Amino acid sequence: MNKTHPILRKNLLPAVFAVLCVINFLLTSSVSATSRIKDIANFEGVRDNLLVGYGLVVGLNNTGDTLADGHFTKQSLLAMLERLGVKPTENGLSSKNVAAVMVTASLSGFTRQGSRVDVTVSALGDSASLLGGTLLVTPLLGADGEVYVVAQGQLAVGGFQSQGQGESVTKGVPTSARIANGGIVEREIGFKLASMERVRISLRNPDFTTARRMAQAVNAFLGTNAANPRDPGTIELSVPSGYENNVVGLLTDIEQLRIEPDQMARIVIDEQSGTIVMGENVTISTVAIAQGSLTIRVTETPQVSQPGPFAEAGTTQTVNRTDVQIDEEPDKKFSVVKQGITLQDLVNGLNALGIGPRDLITILQAIKTAGALQADIMVM
């Protein structure tokens, strides 16, 4: 039996370890450059539905709405009491323990009747705080006007407000609250995913190349041409044989596939905050850049002029003294940015000019106007 010499085996271990490290780095880089389909696309029907309702919160500690004549909170309170068989007079309603609120929730397309969802409660009137309040039964409606959820429960407020005669303290937003599992689903959304014959996949960032790569990855996995890109943001997937009445299993297998999304060469500029975001594929042709500003500083220093001692004539007057300084920054010179540089080289070259984000925005727009910037500029 052949055996490796101990010295040779000792010398091979570092080399084998280095090769394994390189392979691991390459595999990690390859995986990190790709994304799962579920992270860059949405499947048809897998979405949330927004609900909204109007209700009343009671039990507040003198922090509710002002029940003035004609106020909607007062009208709502009167209508609610009348439905419960109570007929109060308008003059008898002077409580500060009631507040009108808007209640919102998000309902999934696959939530069944009897399930519970979280609801958010927000003050609608002039209530100072919802702390300690209880939401009365509130129906939540969808876009079609139908009631899907009924909400009620004790409010959980993340902020508070306290005030005295000379000072007040407010933490967080005391006029907004949540009720965990405060809504009960009364109506289901009629969407049958399992029996679908075609499913559309929507890209969150539409792109021709990404759509084609996704369709190719799905077809390679299924072994058939079931996926076809219809436009930059939509892929139509026909349910292949073996997945009939099992669309859930099909989407589960597909969403784990990895592809490399493509992106446009784009620069996003937010002029209000001075934020600049550059994409990876931004390139620039050879161009010379010079940046300098003319600064004019005017300083007013008034001086008092008065007549000399024992003067027979003259009055004390204020004389204006103006100092004007002009700074042209003569040390600013041209900098040449060569063609084919990377994004890091472009940023380093612009930073070498000693400019700030505001001036950088102007320079990028000027380079684009000159035709040397091969990217799209989007101003927010």
Q: For residue 109, what pLDDT is reported?
A: 82
> What is the 3-state secondary structure of the chain?
CCCCCHHHHHHHHHHHHHHHHHHHHHHHHHHHCCEEHHHHEEECCCCEEEEEEEEEEECCCCCCCCCCCCCHHHHHHHHHHHHCCCCCCHHHCCCCCEEEEEEEEEEECCCCCCCEEEEEEEECCCCCCCCCCEEEEEEEECCCCCEEEEEEEECEECCEEEECCCCEEEECCCCEEEEEEEEEECCCCCCCCCCCCEEEEEECCCCHHHHHHHHHHHHHHHCCCCEEEEECCEEEEECCCCCCCCHHHHHHHHCCCEECCCCCCEEEEECCCCEEEECCCCEECCEEECCCCCEEEEEECCEEECCCCCCCCCCCEEECCEEEEEECCCCCCCEEECCCCCHHHHHHHHHCCCCCHHHHHHHHHHHHHCCCEECEEEEC
Identify whether the C-beta of residue 201 lies closer than 8 Å to the C-beta of residue 42: yes
Read off the pLDDT of each residue in 118-141 and give the average, rounded to a whole number.
Answer: 93
Q: For residue 45, what pLDDT is reported?
A: 83
pLDDT over 90 (residue 136) = yes
pLDDT-derived band of residue 339, with 50, 70 and 90 as boundaries? Answer: low
Q: pLDDT of 267-307, one tens digit each?
A: 888 877 778 887 777 777 777 766 665 454 666 677 777 77
Q: Which of 80-84, 130-134, 184-188, 218-222 has the least mean pLDDT?
A: 80-84
Q: For residue 238, what pLDDT is reported?
A: 92
> Beta strand pairing status for 258-259 and 35-36?
antiparallel
| Mean pLDDT, the chain, integer | 79
Q: pLDDT of 150-172, one tens digit each?
A: 999 999 988 766 666 666 677 77
Task: Show the tokens assigned to 349.
Answer: 């070259």
Q: pLDDT of 93-103, one tens digit each?
A: 778 899 999 99
Read off the pLDDT of each residue in 315-341 and give the average, rounded to a whole number.
Answer: 61
The number of beta carbons lying within 10 Å of the beta carbon of residue 292 is 15
CA distance 312 to 108: 95
Q: pLDDT of 242-271, one tens digit each?
A: 888 888 889 999 999 999 988 888 888 887
Q: For residue 343, what pLDDT is reported?
A: 58
pLDDT over 70 (residue 26) = no
Q: For residue 83, what pLDDT is reported?
A: 87
pLDDT over 70 (residue 311) = no
Q: pLDDT of 51-107, one tens digit each?
A: 999 999 999 988 888 887 668 888 888 888 888 888 877 666 778 899 999 999 999
Q: For residue 359, what pLDDT is reported?
A: 75
CA distance 281 to 218: 26
pLDDT over 60 (residue 28) = no
Read off the pLDDT of each residue in 327-349 and give the average, rounded to a whole number.
Answer: 60
Read off the pLDDT of each residue in 209-216 and give the average, rounded to a whole number.
Answer: 93
CA distance 53 to 131: 20
Identify whether the C-beta of residue 378 lies closer than 8 Å to the C-beta of residue 266: yes
pLDDT-derived band of residue 340, with 50, 70 and 90 as boundaries? Answer: low
Read off the pLDDT of each residue in 138-143 and give the average, rounded to a whole number.
Answer: 94
CA distance 159 to 170: 7
Q: For residue 189, what pLDDT is reported?
A: 83
pLDDT-derived band of residue 219, with 50, 70 and 90 as boundaries? Answer: very high
Q: For residue 281, what pLDDT is reported?
A: 76
Burial of 106 (0-12, 13-18, 19+ CB in 10 A): middle
Identify whether the C-beta of residue 335 lies closer than 8 Å to the C-beta of residue 352: yes
Identify whether the C-beta of residue 247 lies closer than 8 Å to the C-beta of residue 199: yes
Higher pLDDT, 19 or 38: 38
CA atoms within a 13 Å half-sphere pointing along the CA-CB vector of 321:
7
State percent of the chain over pLDDT 70: 71
> Beta strand pairing status for 266-270 and 376-379?
parallel
Give residue limits of the domains in the chain: 48-160+171-185, 198-259, 267-299+323-379
Q: For residue 40, what pLDDT is reported?
A: 92
Burial of 117 (0-12, 13-18, 19+ CB in 10 A): buried
Task: Show the tokens assigned to 366.
Answer: 């000027």
